[in-house]
Amino acid sequence: MAKKLVWHTEQRRVCDLLPFKANPRKISEKEISDLKKSLKKFNLVEIPAITPDNKIIAGHQRCAVLQLLGRGEELIDCRVPSRPLTKTEYKQYLITSNKVHGTWDNAILTDNFEMDLLLVSGFSDSELEDIYESVLDTEDKGFSIEKELAKIKDPVSTLGSLYQLGPHRLLCASATDLEAIKRLVGDEKMDMAYCDPIYNIDLSYQSGIGGTRNYGGSTQDKMSDEKYEVFLQATMENALAVSKDDVHMFYYSDQKYVALIQKLYEKIGIKFQRTCIWLKGVANPTPQVAFSKVYEPITYGVRGKPYLSPQHKNFDEVLNKETGTGHQLIDSFLDMFDVWAVKKLSGQDYSHPTQKPITLHDKPIRRCTRIGDNILSLFGGSGGELIAADQLKRKCFMVELDPIFVDLIIRHYEFYTGNKAKKIN
C-alpha cells in the first residue's frame, strides 16, 4: 500500500518546471491575457503543485504565463509531495485540479461583483451569459411619468445635447441625421436596431390619442405615405450604417404600414423574418370600425447571421424535465412565439401616446443579444428600451428628437439606477 501523501513547500526556478505534454487543459488568448493581468497585479498567490522531479501537476498555465512575462529565472514556491506519485495518482490529480470546482450562487455573484470585474477575473462571455440570464429580469419600478413631466417646464436639453448614462448614451437629434448618429455611437457597432418610430396616424404627441391629455411633447406624425416611406428608409439606412455586418432589426408600426416596412427591408438588404405581435390585453373601443385594435405589429428582420441566444428551446426541450413545471413551463412556451403578451400601461402611466412597458422589450433583447451587446434606439420616447437594456446588462445608444423627452429619459434612468447622467458636451 502506498504511503500517505504529505505536501510541503519548496522553491524551484520557473524554467526548470516541466509541463505534462498530454495535459488536456487548454487556455484561450483571453484567458492568457486575464492571467497576465492577475499575475501582474496580485503576483503568484496559488502556487503550482509539482512532482519531486519537477514535473508540473497543477499550475501549467500559471507557469507558462510566468515564462511569457519574462520571469523564467525566478524562484517560486511550489507544493511538493513526500513521495513520487504513481502514474494513476498523477493523472487523477491533474484532472481533478482542473475539473472539480464549487458551484456559484448566481444571485450572490451578480449582486456583489460587477460584470466587468468578472470578465477580467477569468469568466468567459458564455459563462457570464449563463450566470446573468438566470437572475436578470426587467421590471417597472413605479417611476411616475406624469409627475416628472410636470416638473419639466423648460427642458435643459437642446438639439445636439449628448449624455452618458452609465454604459449607455443618449443624444438629442433626429433619426434621419446620420452624422449625429455616428457621433452618438463613436467607434461602437450595433448588434441590434430596435426602433419605435412615429406611427403616421395623425396622432398628436402632445395631446395623445383621445386629444385630451398633455404629454408635453411636440412631435406630430402626419405625413403623406410617400414622405413617410422616405423618412423610414432614411432611419433604417442610418441604423445599418452604424451596425455590424450581422445585425437584428425591429421596427414597430401601425398595422397599415407592415407591408411598407417589409418592402423597405427588402430594398435595403434586410431579410424579413417575422411579424411579431404585441398583444396589449386592452383596447380602446372604436364604434365606427368593426373591430378594436388589441395588438401592435413589430416587423423583424436580419442582415447576415446575427447572434441568437442558445437559451431558446424547441418544443421537445420545453417538455423535458430540465425546464421545470408550472409558470416556468408556460414562460418557456411563450418565449418561443412571435406573440408578445404584455399588458399595456394604464392611461395615467403614459408619458407619450405610444409608450411601451419596459417588460415588453425583455423578449427581443434576451433572444437576439448577448450581455454587453449594443442596441440602437432611434426614437427614445420615454426611454423604456434603455431601462430594459440596463436591467439586462446590454448597452443602449438612444436618439430622441424632442428635448422634453430627452430630459424625461434622463430622469427615468436616474430614478431606476440611482446614477447621474453626465453631459458629454
Band of the pLDDT at 312, cuts 50, 70, 90? Answer: low
> Does residue 168 surpass a pLDDT of 90?
yes
- Are the C-beta atoms of 94 and 58 separated by less than 8 Å? yes
Q: What percent of the chain has pLDDT over 70?
A: 83
What's the gap between Cα 293 and its chain centre? 31
Average pLDDT, the chain: 85
Residue 348 grid cell: 395615467
The pLDDT of 131-147, averaged and rounded, is 77
Residue 366 grid cell: 434576451
What residue ranges define each of the domains in the chain, with the CATH number in brackets? 7-101 (3.90.1530), 102-135 (no CATH), 146-310+342-423 (3.40.50.150)
What confidence tens digit (pLDDT) does each residue in 10-50 have? 999 999 999 998 877 788 888 899 899 999 999 999 999 99
Among 20-24, 142-146, 420-424, name the most confident range: 420-424
pLDDT of residue 361: 93
pLDDT of residue 282: 67
Query: Looking at 68-72, 189-193, 315-319, which range is the least confident one?
Result: 315-319
* Better pLDDT: 146 or 350: 146
Among 8-22, 278-292, 336-350, name the most confident range: 8-22
Distance CA 143, CA 382 (A): 11
What confidence tens digit (pLDDT) does each residue in 211-260 have? 444 545 555 568 999 999 999 999 999 999 999 999 999 999 999 999 99
Q: What percent of the chain has pLDDT over 90?
A: 57
- Are the C-beta atoms of 152 and 408 separated by less than 8 Å? yes
Q: How far is CA 122 from CA 38, 68, 92, 325, 389, in A?
A: 9, 18, 24, 34, 24
